[in-house]
Amino acid sequence: MTVNSTLGLILSCIGMLAARAPRSFLLTVIAAIVLAAVWWWICINYSKLWNKRFHITAFHHVLCALASVATLLFTLTYVSLRYTRDIAAQAVDQWHKQLLKDQRFTDQTFLTAYQSVKGLNVENFANFPPPPAGKKIPLSQQVSRTTFAKTYADGACRDFQVKHAFLSRIIWPKAQVPTEAVEADMRRFFARNPGGTYMDVQGINLAANLIRNELEPQTARVVSLSRSTAALVFVLFQLIPFAVIGYAAYRDLKLTV
């Protein structure tokens, strides 16, 4: 699942609302239709508050219809945005699984890690030829292990930014994983696995877990901001038909007085 736009996010949220809560979705649709109908009636008749003889034109009817459709879409969008976190979580999980199987990413990142560790000049590379012939990197020093892990974690972050540009701006806009996070993850790993080997997959998992940890606070903020923005856009859009019809009714009143 790739969510690379606001529209894509909204459509995914509406789809999840329909799939997970069909009863709630049906009630939301019914409520949206009722509100749209009421809003259409108000839009057509509100000018009669001061000009009972005014009759709206076909153009005004089109504006009222657009206002009605906007009301329906806004209601459905406002309710369905509660699934923003779930949509984002699904996208992150799917990306994570695919990245672990991505041989191209593995090969490119291994080459980068090999060059980065070798550039530290703290390891003996005599028996470790470069890829594609070589498949291993000497990691006897802590700085080498940290560099190795961070290379994979940073690579995973950049991959997420490329494949999920929209979500990355919401959840994890950073291009790198903090060194402190890498070192802390390595300490936890070796505490659980004394004498183990910190593999490349650990760096990928670290990046994915950091992105997941940002889901709750970031998506909660985004839902609130998205709903506020949707409400503002809705109000501004509704001002157009009401202003046009109101002005026409006012002019008609002046001409008939």
Residues 9 and 49 sit within 8 Å (Cβ to Cβ): no
Q: What is the pTM of this model?
A: 0.76
Q: Give 92-105 pLDDT, tens digit per residue.
A: 999 999 999 999 99
Closest by alpha carbon to 245, among 47, 26, 38? 47
Mean pLDDT of 233-250: 90
| Alpha carbons 249 and 238: distance in angstroms, whole number | 17
Angle in degrees, CA 114, 153, 161, rounded to 5? 115
Please, how many CA atoms are within 13 Å of residue 21, restricted to the half-sphere of its CB?
12
Closest by alpha carbon to 96, among 246, 203, 197? 203
Secondary structure of residue 50 in the 3-state scheme: coil
Dig out the tokens for 31 from the structure: 């409520």
DSSP 62-125: HHHHHHHHHHHHHHHHHHHGGGHHHHHHHHHHHHHHHHHT-HHHHHHHHHHHHHHHHHTT-S--
Q: How confident is the model at residue 213 (pLDDT cuts 50, 70, 90)?
A: confident
Tell me the domain boundaries of the chain.
6-85+217-256, 102-215
Q: Is the pLDDT of residue 256 over 70?
A: no
In eight-state DSSP terms, residue 226 is H
Q: How confident is the model at residue 192 (pLDDT cuts 50, 70, 90)?
A: confident
Of 112-116, 174-178, 242-246, 253-257, the poorest mean pLDDT is in 253-257
| Alpha carbons 145 and 155: distance in angstroms, whole number | 15
Phi, psi of 117 (to 5 degrees): -70, -40
Q: Is the pLDDT of residue 12 over 60?
A: yes
Dig out the tokens for 125 from the structure: 């590379």
Q: Is the pLDDT of residue 1 over 60?
A: no
Dig out the tokens for 50 from the structure: 């001061």
Q: What is the pLDDT of residue 219?
A: 77
Residues 203 and 153 sit within 8 Å (Cβ to Cβ): yes
Mean pLDDT of 190-198: 78
Closest by alpha carbon to 173, among 182, 185, 183, 164? 164
